[in-house]
Amino acid sequence: MARLVFALLISVSINAQTSRLRVIDAATQKPIEYAHVLIQNGENKSLAITDALGVFSIQHSNPVAITVTYIGYESIKDSINPGTQRDIQLNPGSYNLDDIVVTAQYAPTTSSESVLRVKVIDQQTIESKGAVNLNQLLNDQLNIRIQGDGILGSGIQMQGLSGENVKILIDGVPIIGRLDGQLDLNQINLSTIERVEIIEGPVSVNYGSNALAGAINLITKKDIREKPSYHFSSFYESVGAYNLDGGVSIPFNKNQQLELNAGRNFFDGWSALDSGQRAQDWNQKEQLFGTAKYRLKKNNFQLNYSLSAFKEIIKDKGDRRSIFSDFAFDRWYTTYRIDNSVNAKWNLKNDKNLELIAAYNLFRRDNVTYNTNLVDRTQELSSDPSAADTTFAKNFLSRGTYSSAGKEATLSYQLGYELAYEVGSGKRIAGNFQSIGDYAAFGSLRWKLDPSLTIQPALRVSYNTVYASQPVPSVHLNFKPKDKNYSYRASYARGFRAPSIKELYLEFIDANHNIVGNTDLIAEYSHHADISASFSWGDKRMVHRYQIEPMLFFNGLNNLIELAAVSGTRFSYVNINQAQTAGLRTDFKYNIHPDFQFQVGFSSLYQQYTIETSSADFISPEVSFGFEYWRPSKHFGFKLSYKYVGRTPQAQLVGDRVVVGSLEDYHWMDISANQKIWKNRLSLTVGGRNLFNVTQLIGNASGGVHSSGGSMPLAWGRSLFVGLKLNLL
């Protein structure tokens, strides 16, 4: 077996030739950038994306089958012989969001054929928004709400469930390092991200704990170029943000490539009022990051190795202690991340796929308090015993899946395992060291009852070293008649989430926070159900096209873990006996081919919390509007996104009663314009963020999580930005 694998890795395809194809609009003859191409070379399946000129290349020695898709166009299937060079023309007229998706799939597939409802934010959207991090990308999405903290960063809520229930992954590997239950979205850089896939609703069968509300999977760029390529980006934002990053891709041969990226993001800090004080609403921050990636594609085998390093320093400057003092207390928060992952894929005979993932992630956060002399700028470590501490988190992951992925097969299946072991240590962890292991096996069966109807039951069983876990089932249904412009989906899923190390053992006490863990917590269980549909229509010439997508969802949770006020300003994690979130959502899209797209969305979220004999509920609406203009002949685009967020509930425990307060509603708007020149090598993006200048959300009850006044910081104020990106081949 070892010899066979070795031969597979080093074998050379002597007769391989390069096919170079260009995807264009059949009506305008203009290239289509970011079109998705699913390539099937014998048993090997891979994904390519067209470049700024609409071009993609294939190395192959035998004829290959391709499926080309792009939003707003009819998908096309074709067969390509080695050495082919020609255009592929797409006709307008497809209404479905037919991106290629990989998250929780047996193999890459179109989003319309997936039994799960997957939303894709592609690279074009990332670039047109000028989004630097995940926070800036998601702040206009319905059913997703951003929560802010000047020190802990920006967290997320999905379908009314907090960030502890949202799994965020990079290429299927979970990101670790939650603080106060949240991952800081500002630390998740998008410079190497090709697209983001979002699944709303539990995917606990596939990804285990922390996936009750859904999963967000960031997909990195994996194409292997024929020639070396270089990129450089610079970004400036008027609130004091200065970013630089660059990278190089070096192909060793037709099958191997090394990619190196590095960058620096700097934010000078921001306050709503220029009062002359040193303390800022949003603290000064510097981020340094770098990645090294190795890729190998050979016949039916793919190997991707990634090593990334990240360092962030937040400087929380204190005010002068008194008018007679020349000293102030300053707190420096330094975060380190080291992420290693290797992904190996084999496309076996008879449409079988084997994928193995191994990862080791390290998170470290240092908290140091200095006594700063404001006259000579010298610093001394504070004499307070708690002035310095370090928190570590380590995660070891091994995951494997074996899939039968025959597209036309009546029965397909997937079997998998996941071994996850997490360690937490430091002064803020009770006992200075704690660990949790979660070991699981899962499987699913995809059954095509007829060409239009697919049903997929699944089950996950696991062993948790801290809590007894129960089997987690799910079932998904997709009804999509062939050649029809409508489809339906329905899902039921069970979720399980063991309390995290932080929820059990955290001791986070400083001037801004007083949060302690709770070792008496009970594991969460949930029931989720949703139903959605898609209807589309248009005129005969396919110039005016319309699509409406309604969705209903329900989450019923037992023993929901929430951060709540337990006494005075002291907060801890508690179990709420029952909690329910339910909502309806409707998206409407209108396209005028090929230049204009309008999008309107509405969502209403219902939340109810019950503890002992007390209950409280809340209804909160959201409205979104988006407008995009893209002129391919001029390589110019304009984008506007608006979102209204209704009052947001905050659950608090007062004695033995649960009380739901709320934060005020707000309006959010971003605009941007993008111009590409010099054969699309140079891209200039300018725009404005937070045009309504929302900074703080005020609560209607005291005792909020982040301050005694019940307010929550949301964002720094209105800003203008400009970004420049250069790509050289």
> What's the pLDDT at 193?
92
Asked if residue 636 is part of any domain, the answer here is yes
pLDDT beyond 60 at 88: yes
- Same-domain status, 504 and 642: yes
Residue 587 lies in a domain: yes
Of 94, 126, 143, the residue at which a domain comes to its end is 94
Do residues 316 and 333 lie in contact, with contact meaning Cβ atoms separated by under 8 Å? Answer: yes
Contacts (Cβ under 8 Å, ≥6 apart) of 558: 524, 525, 526, 577, 578
Same domain, 83 and 231: no
Contact partners, residue 407, CB within 8 Å, separation at least 6: 109, 113, 351
Could you tell me the residue range of the domain that residue 26 belongs to? 18-94
Burial zone of 633 (CB within 10 Å; 0-12 exposed, 13-18 middle, 19+ buried) = exposed
Angle at 185 between CA 199 and CA 114, to 5 degrees: 15
pLDDT of residue 355: 95
Phi/psi at 632 (5° precision): -55, -40
CATH number of the domain residue 40 falls in: 2.60.40.1120
Both 513 and 371 in a single domain?
Answer: yes
Cis bond upstream, residue 550 (ω within 30): no
Last residue of a domain, one of 94, 127, 159: 94
Residue 409 lies in a domain: yes
Determine, yes or no, domain membership for 229. Answer: yes
Confidence band, pLDDT 50/70/90 cuts, at residue 673: very high
* 83 shares a domain with 219: no
Please check whether residue 696 lies inside any domain of the structure. yes
| AA letter at 382 | S
Q: CA nearest 596: which of 541, 645, 537, 637?
A: 637
111-136: average pLDDT: 89
Residue 105 lies in a domain: no
Q: Is 84 found in the same domain as 221?
A: no
pTM of the predicted model as reported, rounded to 2 decimal places: 0.85
Residue-level pLDDT at 42: 67
CATH code assigned at 612: 2.40.170.20
How many distinct structural domains can be found in the chain?
Answer: 2
Q: Which two tokens stand for residue 180?
A: 């106060």
Does residue 726 carry a pLDDT above 90? yes
- What integer pLDDT is reported at residue 381 of this predicted model? 84
- For residue 175, give the H/E element and its range: none
From its phi and psi, is residue 181 left (phi > 0), alpha (psi between -120 and 50) or beta?
left
CA dist 729 and 719 (Å) reads: 33
397: β partners: 359, 420
- Look at residue 327 in the predicted model and tell me its pLDDT: 87
Domain finish residue from 44, 78, 94: 94
Q: Do 85 and 225 belong together in one domain?
A: no
Residue 637: is it exposed, middle or buried by C-beta count within 10 angstroms (0-12/13-18/19+)? buried
Instruction: Pick 369 or 652 by higher pLDDT.
Output: 369
Residue 112 covered by a domain: no
CB 617 within 8 A of CB 606: yes
What CA dihedral angle connects 81, 295, 289 and 235, to 10 degrees?
A: -10
Assess if residue 133 is contained within a domain: no
Q: Which of 160-174, 233-247, 326-340, 556-570 has the lowest mean pLDDT?
A: 556-570
| pLDDT for the residue numbered 209 | 78
- Average pLDDT across the chain, whole number: 85
Structure confidence by residue, pLDDT tens digits, 370-404: 998 888 888 888 877 667 888 889 999 999 999 99
**Which neighbouring-strand residues pair with 162?**
157
State residue 651's pLDDT score: 64
